Structure 1
Amino acid sequence: MGKKDKRAKVAEDPQPKKAAKFEHAHFQGLPLAWRFSGCDTAGPFAWTALDDPDYKKVIEALHEFETKNWNEILATGSHPIEAYRIDKPARDRLAAIEQDDIDELMSFRLTGKNRVWCIRVQNIMRVIWWDPEHQVYPTPKDKADRGKKASQR
């Protein structure tokens, strides 16, 4: 007498009904965190240039990034940039604030041109600049212009 298959027969596998509602942006198992103690308070990208109503918008946007995973953050147009590729005034400012020894910066896209620039140390984003006009790493809209810009660096 042969053994009977005692597994339940189903037309299709059941699908889970609940999905995770909240997921931190994990970096090596740690949630995304912001550090403001090193903010640049002088120069062209200083945080002191922010108007009072803008502070609330920026903080809300940074809070929103904390609810995203790394792929979702990158999908917002935010991305790492090698330090040597940023515009010369920004490189000069890095030297002035004694941060010119870093290899990479992280650009967080808030809206259109608005960017927050950070130095990433694992999961901690050391916030340094507010860039309301996309001047730290300007990108031409036209692909032909991008080629020209790259050859000028």
Structure 2
Amino acid sequence: MNQKSKRQARAERKHIAAAKKAEKNARLVTTVVQENIKKPRKNKNPDSIFAMHMSWCLDYADRECSWSWGCQRDWTEAEWAENIKPKLDEWSKLTWKEIDEFSSDTGHKMHHNMDCDVICEEAQLRLLEIELDGDVIFRFRLGNKLRLWGFRKLQEFQIVWYDRQHKIYPTDPD
């Protein structure tokens, strides 16, 4: 009988040790998994570009041919030096949040996204032709009628068009 109870005691101790080991392993796995989960910073959206500084590129600029209204798509060296580049340099010093806060005297946002289906049909077709299709295009206001159009990919503004006459999204009836 002593033999059996020793055997039983040994089996019980082995079972308890195995259960403790399994519990410890489960705690370790949970701890490791929890440590590897990325947590957002408090009060910040880690996916937001608004905290990032604006950058820009010309890789997608559509500067060939002209629009049906008679304007060349390409800008001149003078337009680049006087109208476009200085503004890009100025905006590159700002975050997208600061850029988003620019508004006119009437409260209208000066720089903003627009759905691609509201720009002129010629521009919509041109985007498909040059394989730059997207649902939303971004527009910078450079002056009274001057606009710079492109796509925003994270913090980078990918310049597509320089619109001298506000014809890509006309607001005045002709």
TM value normalised by structure 1: 0.66
SS in structure 2 opposite 1:92?
A: helix
After TM superposition, where is structure 1 displaced by more than 4 Å over at least 4 residues in a row? none
| TM-superposed deviation, 1:52 | 2.1
- Tell me, yes or no, if the aligned pair for 2:149 and 2:161 is still in contact at 8 Å: yes
- Bigger fraction of residues in helix: 2
- Structure with the greater relative contact order (CA < 8 A, sep ≥ 6): 1 or 2? 1
- Bigger fraction of residues in strand: 1
* In structure 2, distance between residues paired with 1:31 and 1:69: 4
Given candidates 52, 58, 80, the residue that maps to 1:36 is 58
Given candidates 72, 81, 86, the residue that maps to 1:60 is 86
Distance 1:46 1:80, change over 3 A: farther
Uncovered stretches (5+) of structure 1, i.e. residues with no partner: 1-25, 146-153
The root-mean-square deviation of aligned C-alpha atoms, in Å, is 2.1
* In structure 1, distance between residues paired with 2:72 and 2:56: 17
Identity within the alignment, %? 25
Given candidates 91, 97, 117, the residue that maps to 2:124 is 91
SS in structure 2 opposite 1:31?
A: coil
Deviation per CA, 1:56-75: give whole Å up to 9, x if none: 12100111112233344231
Deviation per CA, 1:79-130: give whole Å up to 9, x if none: 1101111111110111111112x01000000111001101111111111111
* In structure 2, distance between residues paired with 1:64 and 1:41: 23
